[in-house]
Amino acid sequence: MVAGGGGAAAKMGEEKLIIRSEKVRFIDILSLLLLRRPITSYHFVEAGDATAGDLDSTPGEWFVALTEIIQKVLAAAYYPAKYLGIAVEFLLNFVSLNGGLLGIVWNIFRCKLVIPLNREAPNFRSMIAMIDGRTELKPMKPAAATGVDEDLESGGCADDAPLIRQQYIDGEHLLGVQYSISEVTVMAAKIAYENAAYIENVVNNVWKFNFVGFYSCWNKFIGSDTTQAFVMTERAEDAAVIMVAFRGTEPFNMQDWSTDINLSWLDMGAMGHVHVGFLKALGLQEVDGKDAARAFPRDPPATAAPRGKIAAYYKLRDVVRDQLKKHQNARVVVTGHSLGGALAAAFPALLAFHGEADVLARLAAVHTYGQPRVGDATFAGYFATAASTAVRVVYRYDIVPRVPFDIPKVAEFRHGGACVYYDGWYAGRTLAAGEDAPNKNYFNPKYVLSMYGNAWGDLFKGMFLWVKEGKDYREGAVSIVFRAAGLLFPGLASHSPRDYVNAIRLGRVAPKEA
């Protein structure tokens, strides 16, 4: 099951393409658009010798220029977006925790006004939770409890994928409910955006599962803890499932968005060409060396991080190892939405790269939602071997699964593995292996009418879905306003975890065509 085994780590990774966006000038963008010089001739590009030779006759693609324009906009918006996010989340929590505008007046009168100053409190919600505040899991129907994920049966789930079961005593009777892997993974990917106390409360008190820990991990290139994930089991003793959920792209974090669209890649030997930003988020040690094993060593160097800090890959690998020893019958499930989906895909690939056969042998599923591309075709094949039961879910014209752009020969980012694509109001179909969702690089003009039509349709249907499906699908003002943003930037609102949760719960996937 280990793609390449331990020998993969010893293979040299000699090539790279690093685009230093901070060095790109306006004149460079004009040159990319008008003069179309080879991309490797620019001062902001670092390339290996063979890469430079391959691209010597390749003119600068307009997609490269577009990427750098977006990067400049994101860089300029970093601080305004950061402080806007703090203000918006404070205001929304202030209104929510006081019971609305009338509640604020009443609490002022009673001298019990709640001021949400502690962003780490269990009742503080991020923008994601304001868009979709649901925390309860939806049990599987008893008739569907066959051992196969009902909603994604045609999406590539393994027949032996474990169901997550919850047992409890009601009087003298031992009762139980069970949840599909897709239900729990999509909800875990959603709550991963919240703070540690919020997540622990939901896992322990709402889901009645066992919270193992929340981990905020070190990125040596940024110099701070930028990667977050949590681990849980469905029960404290003799668990069947160990789940790792990575936090995704935060709405007001322009650094996260910049990482998603960056075109830089690094040759990781048998793994193929892999997105540098995602590798950095997990624990990459260097981008300048020619040895893939040294770039991402099996064990972190002693000086890799300040005392008490550790990169996400190494920390989570240690936690999973410990949990597998504790729970002898458990299997591992990995999930994430957006950037978290990319990290969820890169994590088992790195386990394979380092020959972690014992861990991979107990990998049950990798489910990602709105995941960006992680590497080239070689990586896609490598990942598919390491995680044969992986399922990637894409909703409508969600922009994130369409980045980084696939630009032959400059940056050939590809999706791989099984993909369930929802191209209607939670009507899905299974794409062929390696097939991209329509409008693969997002900016194809032939899809403009369809994208805006989807945005309008989702806005109106979102407002009235509860009439048919019940109160759990009633959307609040924040969600409706976010959907309205899709009228300006189609594909943005489609990235909301709300639609991914709804798709898993309400969607039906057409059988694969013969």
- Which of the residues are catalytic? 338, 398, 495
Find all residues with CB under 8 Å of 136, minimum gap 6, and list them.
206, 472
Task: Tokens 């209607």: give the residue.
Answer: 424
Spacing of C-alpha 242 from chain mean position: 18
Please state the length of the chain.
514
**Cα dihedral sign, 70-75-80-84:** positive
Rounded CA gap, 455 and 463, in Å? 13
Find all residues with CB under 8 Å of 134, minimum gap 6, and list them.
187, 472, 501
CB atoms within 10 A of CB 400: 26
Rounded CA gap, 300 and 292, in Å? 14
- Closest by CA to 68, choosing from 35, 22, 16, is 22
Instruction: Spell 115-143 as b/e; 16+ CB within 10 A means b.
Output: ebeeeeebebbbbbbbbbebbebbbbeee
Residue 237 parent element (H or E): none
Task: Please say whether the beta carbons of 244 and 231 come within 8 A.
Answer: yes
> Terminus-to-terminus CA distance in the chain, angstroms?
27
Rounded CA gap, 87 and 85, in Å? 5
Q: Which two tokens stand for residue 366?
A: 């990798």
Rounded CA gap, 96 and 313, in Å? 36
- For residue 32, which amino acid is it? L
* 100 DSSP β-pair partners: none
Peptide bond into 512 cis (omega under 30): no
Rounded CA gap, 330 and 362, in Å? 7
- For residue 142, which amino acid is it? P
Query: What are the DSSP E strand ranges found in 268-395?
Result: 273-275, 331-337, 363-369, 391-395
Burial tier of 438 (Cβ tally within 10 Å: 0-12, 13-18, 19+): middle
- Closest by CA to 187, choosing from 151, 154, 218, is 151
Looking at residue 47, what DSSP letter applies?
E
- Closest by CA to 57, choosing from 33, 39, 32, 35, is 39
